[in-house]
Structure 1
Amino acid sequence: MTQPFSVIALLVVCLATVLVAVHGLRLSRTTSDFYVASRTVRPWWNASAIGGEYLSAASFLGVAGLIVVSGQSGLWFPIGYTAGYLMLLLFVAAPLRRSQAYTLPDFAQIRFASVPLRKITTYLVVLICLLYIVPQMHGASLTLTVATGLPDWAGPLLVATVVCLTVVSGGMRSVTFVQAFQYWLKLAALVVPTIFLLTRLIPGNDPALRVQQLGERLGGGGSMGLYETISIIIALLFGTLGLPHVLVRFYTNPTGQAARSTTVIVLGLLSFFYIWPVALGILGRLFTPDLGQTGNADATVLLLPGTILEGLAADLLTSVVVGGAFAAFLSTTSGLVVSLAGAVSQEFFAGTVRGFKISTVLATTAPLLVAGLTSSLALAGAIGNVFAFTASTICPLLLLGIWWRQLTSIGAIAGMLTGAISCALSLLVSGLLTGSDSFWVALIRQPAAWSVPLAFLVTILVSLATAKRVPRNVERILARLHVPERSDLHD
């Protein structure tokens, strides 16, 4: 049954997104505007935009669903998502901004001047972005089906259409405005229902009894083992370092110091945001525990208002959540499409504005088709697999490329291919395994704990074996990455 308030909220969010993007269109004229917003985005604005694109379907819907399914083990996901930005602050943000790159393949080219490495990096960026966009499409399908009764293909089609219009209209500059707006919209869409539900529930219940029930249910079934917990933490910490749509935002800061300031602000914004899906997950664990058994846990945030309340109040709160959920899908997909279109355009269309726009259409159409041919996985779990793959591929190139002068292009290629093959094969095989909780099955289902160290080890060993291939200009390149610019010193 279609809920009119939810449909209205959805249309308002889409219309607001397009209008904000049109504002960016008035300011986007040059190639630099489309790729990196002419490197003029200030820390607070950029931090809001990063929060908008990073807090995806896995954060808005998946975290609460994980807590419903796994109890306290699900808390590791918001912790890992946030802590990954501390790694970015310490090791990546400022050097990456100083590289003067537009995309990750650009960074690989600047650091090593290797065409094969650049191509492999491009293909990995394309694959990672596709893998990340598809769960956003599935989340949109889930949201529209549950909350509005519309067919399951409507959500992905709407997301693809709005994102394509947003990115084509003004590239990175338009997307920056859109994502900053959508971070605060998503936050409000969680804060308002959570506070309202708590104010209605607390007076009518015995607090001591609820605390006791909460302790029992959070620690109850579905908890992850020690190895799985460690592997997920490694995937989230190191995977954040290699996410193309996150890294490209640091290219938009005016200085390296501004990139660091942006990351500090992002840590605060993420920490505050994750309070609310965790709170809703705890409420779901108390009031809708059956969702974890029916395989519909990702709908917890959408179904809670209607489960706890009745009538107009339930419909209005549900519509607020639906609007926030769609903002999450739109903002994350926009960032991913910008990264994907940038990599494809630089590789196949000479990096022109026209090539960027063509690449944008391709970057929204391809995942739409994939989403239509695949079924939805648990959102946080699907995104967790992308983090594991990214940590095993892009992360070694980025960390060692910034901090280790002896890295060679051959070593980087060997490490990325090793990480990609080992992680991808494990995840593919894990899809065939059912009903087993043995340690060996856990190794395959959560490969990051061994695939990430393996990728780093192969990268280092092959680089040492090919030491004569260290770029001759490595000292000059590393100096560019690590020596503060004049603008850094006066920022």
Structure 2
Amino acid sequence: MNPAVGLVALVVVSVATAVIGFYGLRISRTTGDFYVASRTVRPWWNASAIGGEYLSAASFLGVAGLILLSGTDALWFPVGYTAGYLMLLLFVAAPLRRSGAYTIPDFTEARLDSRAVRRVTSVVVVVVGWLYIVPQLHGAALTIRITTGLPAWVGSVAVVVVVCLTVVAGGMRSITFVQAFQYWLKLTALAVPVLFIVFALAGNGSAAVAPAAVNPTGLAPAGPYQNISLLVALLFGTLGLPHVLVRFYTNPDGQSARRTTLIVLGLLSVFYLFPTAYGLMGRMFAPDLARSGQADAVVLLLPGQLIGGTAGDLLSALVVAGAFAAFLSTTSGLVVSLAGVISQDVLGGSVRGFRLAAVISAVVPLGFAFTTDTLALAGSVGLVFAFTASTVCPVLLLGIWWRGLTDTGAIAGMVTGGVLCGGAMVSGTVLGAAGTPFWLAQPAAWTVPAAFAVMVLVSRATRQRVPQTMARVMTRLHTPERPLATER
């Protein structure tokens, strides 16, 4: 691929993102605009924005790379990512919107009437957000290095700069427009090259390389435990992603939140057809990418290898633009959700505090990205899902659906899940991929049940701490269109 073409694609998508973001500044004036877009985002806009921020580096690059490496075993990733939204629709979307909160800590404090729970939840949400931002910056570094030849750090810094500009300019109102645009850009960037490749192969069969063996990498298939644990992480982890959950606070009402989730399910189902196609075509026509350690780059490199010439360069540029949009949209959603938490808990909750918190939220993970190596993107994000499923998810599900939850139980469960899953993640980093036992490499199958069990058992042992406001809050969560008194 011509490096100049890739560089132009990156500049164009960055400028378009900044322009759309600054448009949001014209209509972002109040605190509500910055935190939750004044709760006026309609389902189609919100669904497109959720698709924009949810379809991250792992979805755009990592899924295809895993399918290239592992074949059908990797199909659990798109299935789990999409099915997680069905869980959101059934159990979380409408009640969470009715909570009237700005952030997840707002919700847990209102539900359990406890500042201590709020503080623990805030710490967990910030950790989850930073863990999720780091793979986006790794993905940007990989894209810059492969497509332009520039130093890898340029990609990470570019993402942080553009995200800070757009989020600081207009907050949630601004990035809603940005992320909705970026979803459709990402879908187009994957779909158009796939169609060209299919037409080229069907027309004359003259691919740049001949079809390879069915299993070009020789990797052993994953066992039942790994698949089950991965599915647990993806299904339950989706319920606790802070940048996704904050989106439900922007809907006008609970019914709109449910409709938004249904639309998202459709958008995700369409999108994941294309990374799957890239992965399968990569196994057939570009197995050398797997053997050379460039599996995560299959989406970026395949159009150039199979089409070639000027057309291949143009299609590659489109893919690069979509990839960079993926990094920008997910990072901006995470930065907004983290800025809301940090601003309210540390900086007073003002618009100025939100802007300062946004810069902090983006710069800290940049430091981690500089000091860590790029892992397989989808795999590293899968571990973040496992951590989220072991911490935020239990307190949300039990807080919404179980009257017996107490503040002590919530804290004990979140700490237990965080320590167990975090310990497994650290152990995997220390031992390396080859030396990590399978039950540590995919910990969700035991860390998620442990977190739920501790939360329930400790709550039962501290029944006297069930808040007096429980009945009132639960009624409002499950009664359509009644706002919480805490809404502001």
TM tier relative to shorter chain: over 0.9
Q: Please give the alpha-carbon distance, in whole angstroms, between the structure 1 residues aligned to 2:95 and 2:277.
A: 36
Aligned mates of 1:368, 1:433 — CA distance in 2: 24
| Alpha-carbon distance in structure 2 between the residues aligned to 1:431 and 1:369 | 18
State the partner residue of 2:472.
476
> Which residue number corresponds to residue 176 of structure 2?
176
Q: Is the 8 A contact 1:71 1:220 kept in 2?
A: no
Identify if the C-alpha distance between structure 1 residues 278 and 218 changes in structure 2 by more than 3 Å, giving closer, same or farther.
farther
Q: 2-side partners of 1:468 and 1:290: how far apart?
A: 62
Normalised to the residue count of structure 1, the TM-score between the two structures is 0.95
**Residue 309 of structure 1: which of 289, 307, 310 is its match?**
307
CA contact (8 A) 1:71 1:221 kept: no
Residue 415 of structure 2 aligns with which residue? 417
**Alpha-carbon offset, residue 162 of structure 1:** 0.3
Shift of 1:45: 0.4
Task: Report which stretch shifted further, 139-148 or 2-11.
Answer: 2-11
Q: Please report how far the alpha carbon of residue 175 of structure 1 lies from its aligned counterpart in structure 2 after TM superposition.
A: 0.6
Residue 461 of structure 2 corresponds to residue 456 of structure 1: no
Distance in structure 1 (CA, Å) of the matches to 2:137 and 2:445: 28
| Counterpart for residue 23 of structure 2 | 23
Aligned to 1:465: 461
1:332 is matched with 330
Which whole-Å CA distance do the structure 2 matches of 1:264 and 1:318 have between them? 32
SS at match of 2:28: coil
Residue 101 of structure 1 corresponds to 101
d(CA) in 1 for partners of 2:132 and 2:23?
Answer: 27
1:190 and 1:324 in contact (8 A); partners too: yes
Cα separation, 2, equivalents of 1:174 and 1:277: 28
Q: 1:218–1:75: structure 2 CA closer, same or farther, 3 Å change rule?
A: farther
Q: Distance in 2 between matches of 1:206 and 1:180?
A: 37
> Taking structure 1 as reference, are residues 486 and 468 closer, same or farther at Cα in structure 2, changes over 3 Å only?
closer
CA contact (8 A) 1:407 1:463 kept: yes
CA contact (8 A) 2:69 2:217 kept: no
Equivalences for 1:6-45 in 2 at 5 Å? Answer: 6-45=6-45
Q: Name the residue aligned to 1:346.
A: 344
CA distance in 1, matches of 2:99, 2:297: 42
Shift of 1:282: 0.6
Pair 1:219–1:93, CA change in 2 (3 A): farther
Quick one: distance in 1 between partners of 2:27 and 2:133?
Answer: 27
Q: Which amino acid aligns with 1:479?
A: T
Contact 2:217 2:291 in 1 (8 A): no
Report how far residue 202 of structure 1 moved. 2.1
Contact 2:63 2:77 in 1 (8 A): yes
Shift in CA distance, 10/115, structure 1 to aligned 2, threshold 3 Å: same
Structure 1: 5+ residue runs without aligned partners? none
Q: Map 1:12-411; keep pairs closer than 5 Å.
A: 12-205=12-205, 216-217=214-215, 221-411=219-409
Q: Describe the SS at the equivalent of 2:152.
A: coil
The separation in 2 between residues aligned to 1:385 and 1:355, in whole angstroms, is 31
Superimposed CA distance per residue, residues 126-181 of structure 1 (whole angstroms, 9 cap, x where no aligned partner):
10100000100000000010011111110011000000000000000001000000
For residues 436-460 of structure 1, give each alpha carbon's deviation from its aligned partner in whole angstroms, at most 9, with x where no partner exists: 58xx911111110000000000000
Q: What amino acid does structure 2 have at the position aligned with 1:128? A: V
Distance 1:10 1:222 in 2: 37
SS where residue 321 of structure 2 aligns?
A: helix
Q: Amino acid of the residue matched to residue 292 of structure 2?
A: T
Give the number of equivalent residue pairs. 481
Residue 485 of structure 1 is matched in structure 2 by 481
Question: Any conservation in 2 of the 1:3–1:315 contact (CA below 8 Å)?
Answer: no
Tell me how far 1:203 sits from its aligned partner. 2.9
Shift of 1:113: 1.6
- Provide closer, same or farther for how the CA distance between residues 435 and 48 of structure 1 changes in structure 2, counting only shifts above 3 A: closer
Give the conservation status (yes or no) of the 8 Å contact 1:67–1:218. Answer: no
Contact kept, 8 Å, 2:200 with 2:206, in 1: the verdict is no
Q: Which residue identity lines up with residue 392 of structure 2 in the other structure? A: I
In structure 2, how many angstroms separate the alpha carbons of the residues matched to 1:436 and 1:106?
42
Cα drift, residue 8 of structure 1: 1.1
State the alpha-carbon separation in 2 of the partners of residues 222 and 80 from structure 1. 21
**Contiguous gaps of at least 5 residues in structure 2:** 484-488
Does the CA contact (< 8 Å) of 2:52 and 2:181 recur in 1? yes
Distance (Å, rounded) in 1 between the aligned partners of 2:40 and 2:281 = 42
Could you tell me which residue of structure 1 aligns to residue 486 of structure 2? none
Deviation at 1:310, TM superposition (A): 2.0
Amino acid corresponding to residue 454 of structure 1 in structure 2: A
Is the CA contact (8 Å cut-off) linking 1:9 and 1:320 kept in structure 2?
A: yes
Aligned AA (2:442):
Q
Offset, 1:486: 6.4
Distance 1:222 1:277 in 2: 22
- The code of the aligned residue for 2:475 comes to A
Deviation of 1:292 (Å): 1.8
Counterpart amino acid of residue 178 in structure 2: V
